[in-house]
Amino acid sequence: MRIQHLLGAVKNRAYRFVDTQSFIDRQSAINFFKELYRATEYLYLFVRSQKPVVRFFGYGYEPSREKIEIDITYRCNLSCANCNRSVGEGQAKSNLDMTVEQIRTFVEESRAMGRRWKVIKLLGGEPTMHKRLQEIIAVLKAYIDQDSPGTRLELWTNGEGQRVREVLGRLPDYVVVIDSSQTRGAEPLFNSFNLAPVDSPFYKYTDFAHGCSIIEKCGVGLTPSGYYPCAVAGGIDRVVGHDSGTLHLADADANMRKQLDEFCRLCGHFRASRSSRNQRKSPAWVEAYQRYKQKKPQLSTYGKLESIPVLSETPRTAAKPPKRAESAVE
């Protein structure tokens, strides 16, 4: 059993214990156990990702081949501090959506590779703000029915506001809704996402290609710009403009360590810090958001570029399509 699975099991047992004790302040106890869990996980990650340790033991985390998170929109009705998609307070809000055709391309690629996902998650932003959400769900449902009947289709929402609640009320029963407004007691704060490890001298000897537990727990990320080892990495690329998304599913595995090296050095999930409602930014993120405000990066567009390859034994450099201005939507 991997260390994060053990830590998660201990944390969940602690939560269940708190729920059975009437004399304990539930929120304070949950906050305590959550921070203890994070501190332990961060310590493990820091030690495990040091270059000498990685050279000796190899990588401690492997990108998931069973789970995928699809950021269908970067629109959001909230402005949370420390949003890891950079659509929150003082970050880089956006109205960028994925198109229905892009979702169809994902389905075609999954079929061509015989990929049967354990879970497909629709996220954002706030996914209920996508104007063609029902069409996206229908495309994915057809793939599940015909090719992957064991796949679980989830939609992750903040559950806030009348419009969001109305959209949630119209969703078909087979969509599993993960509503953070119902679980916020256990998740009251966000990590300080905009504290980049690269700005800390403690991470001088870190191998960022190691990745963190997100690549296993959450899965591959698909954004309007292609595949990433996690959706958080795609959200970072939207801001910094490296244009590193992989445009074909068959090539995604070969590129993931390079992408992790690029984006984990900027990701606050990789750096040990306390959860906070305050928006704290290290120099790399201050500069990135300033550049974004001056000129939004134009990234390549994921979609049907050529015939979908059935498999790819070696990394292949796909022809990049014309750059997409971030305001482009279907």
CA distances from 327 to 75, 122, 158 (A): 11, 20, 23
Whether 187 and 298 share a structural domain: yes
Convert the pLDDT of each residue in 243-270 to its tens digit.
999 999 999 999 999 999 999 999 999 9
Tokens of 193: 């996402």
Could you tell me the pTM of the whole model?
0.86
Whether 32 and 176 share a structural domain: no
Whether 98 and 181 share a structural domain: yes
Whether 119 and 43 share a structural domain: no
In a domain, 230, yes or no: yes
Tokens of 265: 């050095």
Whether 248 and 159 share a structural domain: yes
Whether 36 and 168 share a structural domain: no
Q: Per-residue pLDDT for the chain (330 aa), expressed as one digit of tens each?
A: 466 566 566 656 665 665 666 656 666 666 676 777 778 888 999 999 999 999 999 999 999 999 999 999 999 999 998 999 999 989 999 999 999 999 999 999 999 999 999 999 999 999 999 999 999 999 999 999 999 999 999 999 999 999 999 999 999 999 999 998 876 543 445 789 999 999 999 999 999 999 999 999 999 999 999 999 999 999 999 999 999 999 999 999 999 999 999 999 999 999 987 777 778 999 999 999 999 999 999 999 999 544 444 443 334 444 565 566 564 444
> What is the CATH classification number for the domain harbouring 281?
3.20.20
Q: Domain limits at 157?
A: 67-324
H or E, element range at 11: helix 3-19
Q: Give the number of domains in the chain.
A: 2
Ranges assigned E (strand) in the chain: 67-71, 119-123, 152-157, 176-179, 220-223, 226-228, 299-300, 323-324
In a domain, 139, yes or no: yes
From CA 251, how far away is CA 202, in angstroms rounded? 33
Whether 34 and 81 share a structural domain: no
Whether 222 and 149 share a structural domain: yes
Residue 16 C-alpha from the chain's centroid: 27
In a domain, 57, yes or no: no
In a domain, 330, yes or no: no
Residue 224 in contact with residue 324, Cβ under 8 Å?
Answer: yes
From CA 104, how far away is CA 127, in angstroms rounded? 17
Whether 19 and 138 share a structural domain: no
From CA 286, how far away is CA 194, in angstroms rounded? 9
From CA 81, how far away is CA 133, in angstroms rounded? 26
Whether 107 and 10 share a structural domain: no
Convert the pLDDT of each residue in 3-27 to its tens digit.
656 656 665 666 566 566 665 666 6
Whether 105 and 234 share a structural domain: yes
Sheet of strand 67-71, all strands in order from the earlier edge strand to the far edge: 176-179, 152-157, 119-123, 67-71, 220-223, 226-228
In a domain, 300, yes or no: yes
In a domain, 235, yes or no: yes
In a domain, 8, yes or no: yes
